[in-house]
Amino acid sequence: MATQLSKPDSQHFAWLARSFGRTDYLLLAPDDLEAIGHVAQHVRKYPGTHLFRQGEVSTSAYVIEEGTVELYRGEKSSSRVVARAGSGAVIGDISMFRGEPYVQSAKAVDAVLALRLDRDLLVPLLLERPVIALRWLVAGLSQLERTQRRVVGLMHRAVIEQVAGLLIDEAAERGEVHLSQADIAGLIGASRQAVNESISQLRSMGAVETGYRRVRIIDADMLARAAAGPDKS
């Protein structure tokens, strides 16, 4: 379900002004926000529904305002989660700008509210509005930097350290971690058996408790020590 933004949508404009990209020196003027309102549509997605699917023609990019989106590749039993995106994240834009099919699918984990911006309207807007273009660039680079930090952080670390670090990052962003062991294995590039053993060890240490697709942190200090590894704990 999509609805066009309009001038009275002040709460959504306020969210854009304070949450998308750098807000300290790239200030959006009222006419910038109004220009976005003319080209953006609000999209609401229920849990389990898709914003887009891998292989589809990429005509739009999305800015997540509320909720969490799971990005995955493959189909059904062979699918693999590659990332999760929350408030302020931009998804689908790289494929859209390149004019290529989406390289991954985007599925709502919970109720999602997003801004959809179609390429034919977004590109002229970015060319005409340098502050919006810079905001978009900074938002994309920030996501890339977070991904690179995670990849570097996973290198040369034991699986239990990787799992503990991922749980810390996810809990910091979203509170309780709602990921299956298969999801965690996909995100860190480890086997499901190794992840299962690591979570069992963390549970035995009293660092976490688990349920169906849920991990709750019980002892944050213990989990941080596990993430740091034996040489630093």
Alpha carbon 82 to chain centroid distance?
10
Q: What is the pTM of this model?
A: 0.67
Tokens of 17: 């002004």
Identical topology for domains 2-150 and 156-228: no
- The contacts of residue 11 (CB under 8 Å, 6+ apart) are none
Continuous H helices in the chain: 10-19, 30-39, 93-98, 119-128, 130-154, 159-174, 181-188, 192-204, 220-228
**In CATH, which of 3.20.20.450, 1.10.10.10, 3.90.79.10, 1.10.760.10 is domain 156-228?**
1.10.10.10
Alpha carbon 26 to chain centroid distance?
22
Q: What is the pLDDT of residue 111?
A: 93
Q: What is the mean pLDDT of residues 96-107?
A: 93
- The contacts of residue 136 (CB under 8 Å, 6+ apart) are 21, 90, 93, 126
pLDDT per residue as tens digits for the range 106-136 = 999 899 999 899 999 999 999 999 988 888 8
pLDDT per residue as tens digits for the range 146-168 = 776 666 665 557 888 888 888 88
CATH says 2-150 is which class? mainly beta
Q: Where are the domains of the chain?
A: 2-150, 156-228
Sheet architecture: strand order including 80-85: 50-52, 105-108, 69-73, 80-85
CB burial of residue 122 (10 Å; 0-12, 13-18, 19+): buried
pLDDT per residue as tens digits for the range 53-92 = 999 999 999 989 899 898 888 886 667 777 888 888 889 9
Number of Cβ within 10 Å of residue 87's Cβ equals: 18
Contact 157, 194 (CB under 8 A): no
Q: What is the pLDDT of residue 122?
A: 92
Tokens of 162: 């990787």
